Structure 1
Amino acid sequence: TALRHRGRQQAGDRMSVEVNVVGMRCGAKNGGLSCTMCYESPLVSKGYPLPTVDLPAVKKTVERLVGERKGGSFSLFGGEPLLAPLDVLEDLWRWGLEKYGRNGVQTSGRPIRDEHWPLFRKYKVCVSFSIEGPGELNDARWAGTLERTREATAHSVACLERCMRERMPTGLIVTLSRHNASPERLPRLLEWFSDLDGRGGLYGVGLHLLQHERRAASIALSPRENLDALLAIRRHEVWRLRTLEFGLFKDILALLRGKDEWEWNDGSPAGVGCTWAGCDPATTPAVQGVEPDGSGRSAQGSTGRRRRGARRPRARRCGSSCCAQRRKKRAAARGAAR
């Protein structure tokens, strides 16, 4: 295929480096949200304090991971990255603008205050929101009570619309669940996409299927419902939307053509973001993460800096029966060898 002749890139060669400046700091009690679908929820619910960020170590690790890649950059993740002190955010964004010409942050939008907006504009920060829709569509992103959840959702949507109105670099990630993509709620989600399309200023939406475990099983769609929702969104994109596009469908079409790079409608470059070599967010090569102390993981392995005494994350075991059988055979072989 074209991919084989060109030499397929590793996922890390295209994905931006993710810098965590808040550790596991998130949750409704801390000023963030307690998201039903979050794989970090058992940790963030414990109320971890904000860590001390070793800025020189973080910058050194980012430089090593980004390297000389054309268009390389980093983005702030979490936890909820906007819970970090403003001086930490400004220091990293000032350096990021000087070094790479742009910055990014992934946020629920709830912690955004008036003080953040000058920083967004001054340091060319692409603010990407994690919102499942307006009103009840976003109830999976829980703020402690229903009233506070709806208030937080309204604030997040208003911040998204402000970014679009002021033509700031903006992104949106939407995770499909029963709250926003069940047969009875899907029409409102499509209506919201049409409203965003009509406003202008937002060109790309990342669609995520809910990767659920015990806590989120109650809001997960069935495989058939996921397929129906995706087909409905794709039809809506083709027939009703003018500029708004969905990265998931761009990926599918690019790979069917033997390509792994494409562009959004505004001309900004993009590409197939994940070659999915592992399903554990702590160990997958599809993520290049940097922790507050400068440690982390690259697509080629550990960054080489890890807190003394800290355990290396272990890949999550596959639960399929075939893998279970292989584990039993290996254990039996080890026992026989002894």
Structure 2
Amino acid sequence: MTVEVRPLGDKCNIQCKYCYQQAARESQTRKPQYDVDAVIGKLEEIGVPFSLFGGEVMLTKRSDLRRLLEFGYDRHGTVGMQTNGTLVREADLALFSSYSVNVGVSIDGPGEMNDERWAGTLISTRRATAMTEAVIERLCRDGTPPRVIVTLHRLNAVGERLTRLCKWLQFLDRLGGERVRLHLLERDNAEQTAHLQMTVEEQLIAMRTLRELEASLASIRFDVFKEIEAMLRGHDSAAACVFHACDAYSTRAVIGVEGDGTPSNCGRTNKEGIAYLPARRRGFERQLALYETARSDGGCAGCRFFLMCKGNCPGTAILGDWRLRSSDCAVWYGLFEDAERGLAAGGRPPLSVSASRIRLESMMIDAWSVGEEPLLEDLLDDMRDEAPRS
């Protein structure tokens, strides 16, 4: 679970053409309320570490930003932050250092590869990208490398652009970069992003190329590949939210705190611009339905990777309908197949081909049916306890 504090809601200083928050911005009818005391009060109530998020969190008044960072540091010893990096200045870097901020930076690559993260004009966009690159490099050189999030699309992950992306990542690796999260392009705003969409084959080529690149890097790791392998081994406690059962109306991975202290869900499931309050009880209707629904109808029936994938993120569901499996199913399926072959070749049989898979599926379905959400790790322990002893 991550607590995401959004002092200014979806407000941002740039306009990424593929941003999943665009529907919320377009439907906004009034300026979001902002009360840093209410935010801190809610964080006191929740009582766990948090991250600052947006929109763009660096639009926050610096005195309020300092208060939030100071509160997080005093209570938990650290604070997380996700930013596009374009507004970070020298004084901000000093602030991050003072309060042990774990910074995440969103960027799609150097120079023109980041042009879809639009800052109004081409000149302004390139200038903003250069500032983001400088922030990443500075944090790496200072020994506090940020977690970098890269969204893959046609302008940074096909042909020569993919080669350039790899070279840039090698450069960051030499600077001491460590963590890179790869995102597939969401299919929201279809008309505006048609020029960015990649075919399934192109996406798989990009992901496989980056997986091969990882083996040659000294420190950078793409966490998604490790997580896929871990899920196939039943080691799901540290995997990202997209591989767990998510309820779009009570998101498992994200507890949001808006600028007035109001709770919220993960914005990736907000397709109509309506920010519903989180439901008090989490449900598993999506996973239960996907398990029984034919693939031709948007479900996952019969898929040997269902326990590990669970239809993936509802924010990427077919047609934006959270009840259906991810529109990226073919890509995930290919990556799970790759990892399955690798594990089997290394003498580590994956759960997807295990004789116990059907039993595990039954146990998980039974748990979801009564509102429980055990880890695969726990179910495997239960099965071992049930096994007869010689």
User: What TM-score results when the alignment is normalised by the length of structure 1?
Assistant: 0.74
Contact map agreement 1:276 1:284 (CA 8 A) in 2: no
| 2:219 match: secondary structure | coil
Alpha-carbon shift at residue 182 of structure 1 (Å): 1.3
Q: Find the counterpart in structure 1 of residue 256 from structure 2.
A: 289
Find the aligned partners of 1:169 and 1:320 in 2 and give their Cα distance: 34
Which amino acid letter does the alignment assign opposite residue 9 of structure 2? G
Distance change (3 Å), C-alpha of 1:311 and 1:136: closer
Distance change (3 Å), C-alpha of 1:320 and 1:191: closer
Which amino acid letter does the alignment assign opposite residue 166 of structure 1? D
Distance change (3 Å), C-alpha of 1:313 and 1:35: farther
Distance change (3 Å), C-alpha of 1:179 and 1:83: same
Find the aligned partners of 1:207 and 1:293 in 2 and give their Cα distance: 32
Given candidates 61, 84, 91, the residue that maps to 2:42 is 61
Contact map agreement 2:17 2:193 (CA 8 A) in 1: yes
1:233 aligned onto 2:210: yes
Distance change (3 Å), C-alpha of 1:312 and 1:127: closer
Given candidates 168, 182, 193, the residue that maps to 2:158 is 182
More helix as a share of residues? 2
Question: What is the percentage of aligned positions where both structures have the same residue?
Answer: 39
User: Cα deviation per residue 1:166-198 (whole Å; 9 max; x = unaligned)?
Assistant: 112521100000111012310000001110111
Distance change (3 Å), C-alpha of 1:47 and 1:274: closer
Given candidates 92, 115, 125, the residue that maps to 2:68 is 92
Find the aligned partners of 2:29 and 2:137 in 1 and give their Cα distance: 31
Find the aligned partners of 1:156 and 1:286 in 2 and give their Cα distance: 27
Contact map agreement 2:264 2:278 (CA 8 A) in 1: no
Alpha-carbon shift at residue 113 of structure 1 (Å): 2.1
Given candidates 11, 30, 33, the residue that maps to 1:25 is 11
Contact map agreement 1:23 1:50 (CA 8 A) in 2: no
Q: Any residues of structure 2 matched to 1:1-338 within 5 Å, and which? A: 12=1, 16-26=2-12, 32-44=13-25, 51-65=32-46, 67=47, 72-168=48-144, 170-200=146-176, 202-213=177-188, 214=190, 215-238=192-215, 240-261=216-237, 271-278=239-246, 284-297=251-264, 312=277, 319=319
| 1:110 match: secondary structure | coil
Distance change (3 Å), C-alpha of 1:59 and 1:195: same
| 1:99 match: secondary structure | helix
Which amino acid letter does the alignment assign opposite residue 25 of structure 1? K
Structure 2 unmatched ranges of 5 or more: 267-274, 280-313, 325-390
Find the aligned partners of 2:24 and 2:88 in 1 and give their Cα distance: 23
| 2:259 match: secondary structure | coil
Which amino acid letter does the alignment assign opposite residue 65 of structure 2? L
Distance change (3 Å), C-alpha of 1:178 and 1:320: closer
Which amino acid letter does the alignment assign opposite residue 38 of structure 1? C
Find the aligned partners of 1:298 and 1:151 in 2 and give their Cα distance: 33
Contact map agreement 1:50 1:84 (CA 8 A) in 2: no
Contact map agreement 1:194 1:241 (CA 8 A) in 2: yes
Once superposed, what is the RMSD of the aligned Cα atoms?
2.9
Contact map agreement 2:119 2:128 (CA 8 A) in 1: yes
Aligned length: 278
Distance change (3 Å), C-alpha of 1:251 and 1:311: closer
Contact map agreement 2:118 2:125 (CA 8 A) in 1: yes
Alpha-carbon shift at residue 64 of structure 1 (Å): 3.7
Distance change (3 Å), C-alpha of 1:278 and 1:319: farther
User: Cα deviation per residue 1:57-81 (whole Å; 9 max; x = unaligned)?
Assistant: 222323444x4xxxx5111011100
Contact map agreement 1:76 1:104 (CA 8 A) in 2: yes
Distance change (3 Å), C-alpha of 1:297 and 1:116: same
User: Cα deviation per residue 1:54-108 (whole Å; 9 max; x = unaligned)?
Assistant: 233222323444x4xxxx5111011100000001110010010010000111001
Contact map agreement 2:231 2:239 (CA 8 A) in 1: no
User: Cα deviation per residue 1:270-290 (whole Å; 9 max; x = unaligned)?
Assistant: 54333454585x753332111
User: What TM-score results when the alignment is normalised by the length of structure 2?
Assistant: 0.65
Contact map agreement 2:139 2:146 (CA 8 A) in 1: yes
Alpha-carbon shift at residue 25 of structure 1 (Å): 1.4
Alpha-carbon shift at residue 204 of structure 1 (Å): 0.8
Which amino acid letter does the alignment assign opposite residue 259 of structure 1? H
Which amino acid letter does the alignment assign opposite residue 272 of structure 1? A
| 2:252 match: secondary structure | coil
